[in-house]
Amino acid sequence: MKTSGEQDYVFGYGSLLNPRSRAAEGSACGLMGFRRTWDVAMDNTRTIPGYKYYLDAVSGDRPAVFVTFLNLRPSPGEVVSGVAFPVDSDRLAALDRRERNYTRIDMTDNVASGPTGRIWTYLGSQEGRERFERGVERGTAVVSEEYYAGVRQSFEGGGDAAVDDFERTTDTPAVPMRELIRVDVPL
C-alpha cells in the first residue's frame, strides 16, 4: 500500500509500453497471476469527443465493427512482463481518459521486482468486455493490424527473449485482424 509521499506508477503491458504513451522511463517488472488476452472492445460506430474511431484501409469507409484491444485475465502461476512508469495526478487523469475501455486497479501487491510506491494497471472494464462479447456474437469483432503490430513492436525492441515472453504470456486473438486506419477525434 502507498504511504504519504510515495510515487504512483502505472504498469504497462501492451500499448502503454510504447515510450510515446508513457512519457517517462520506467522500471521493468512483472505482474504476477495474469496473462494477456484480447477481450476489450470499442464500438466503432460511436463518435466520442476526445477519443478515436477507425476507417477501413482499403475502402476508406467506417466499418460497423467492435475494435478489440489487449487486456489481462487472471492466470495463477503466470507472470506478465511490463514496465512500471512514474505518474503524477495529472498524468493519471489523462491516462484514465485515454484508457476509457478499462478500469484503473491498484496492483501494488501483484508486482514482482517493481519500484517502491503504488502501482496501478488498467484492466478491461465490464462495459468494454461486454462490447467485445457483442462483437463476437455478431461476427464483427476485429483487432486492428496496426495496434497489434505496435504492441508486438514494443516487445521486439527488447530482443528475442522479450518477444518469446510476449508470445508465451499472450493469448492468440480469437477474432480476425483487419487493416484499419485510426482517426483521433478532437474534444
Q: Is residue 119 part of a domain?
A: yes
Q: Per the structure, how many domains does the chain have?
A: 1
Residue 6 banded pLDDT, cuts 50, 70, 90: confident
Q: Is residue 2 part of a domain?
A: no
pTM summary value: 0.92
Q: In which region does residue 33 sit, left (phi positive, over 0), alpha (psi from -120 to 50) or beta (all else)?
A: left
C-alpha 147/C-alpha 98 separation (Å) is 15
How many Cα neighbours within 13 Å face the side chain of 76? 0
Q: Is residue 1 part of a domain?
A: no
DSSP state of 170: B
How many Cα neighbours within 13 Å face the side chain of 24? 15
pLDDT digits (tens, 9 = 90+) for 22-68: 666 889 999 999 999 999 999 999 999 999 999 999 999 999 999 99
Burial class, 66, CB count within 10 angstroms (exposed 0-12 / middle 13-18 / buried 19+)? buried
| Number of other residues whose CB lies within 10 A of the CB of residue 41 | 29
Q: Tell me: pLDDT of 2 over 50.
A: no
State the Cα torsion 73-115-106-33 to the nearest 10°. Answer: 30
φ and ψ at 55, to 5 degrees? -110, 150
Q: Is residue 135 part of a domain?
A: yes
Total count of residues recorded for the chain = 187
Q: Copy the grid coordinates of residue 101.
A: 475501455
Q: Supply the range of the domain harboring residue 171.
A: 8-184
Q: Is residue 14 part of a domain?
A: yes
pLDDT digits (tens, 9 = 90+) for 134-159: 999 999 999 999 999 999 998 988 88
Q: Where are the alpha helices (DSSP H) in the chain?
A: 19-22, 89-98, 126-138, 145-156, 160-168
CATH number of the domain residue 80 falls in: 3.10.490.10
Q: Is residue 3 part of a domain?
A: no
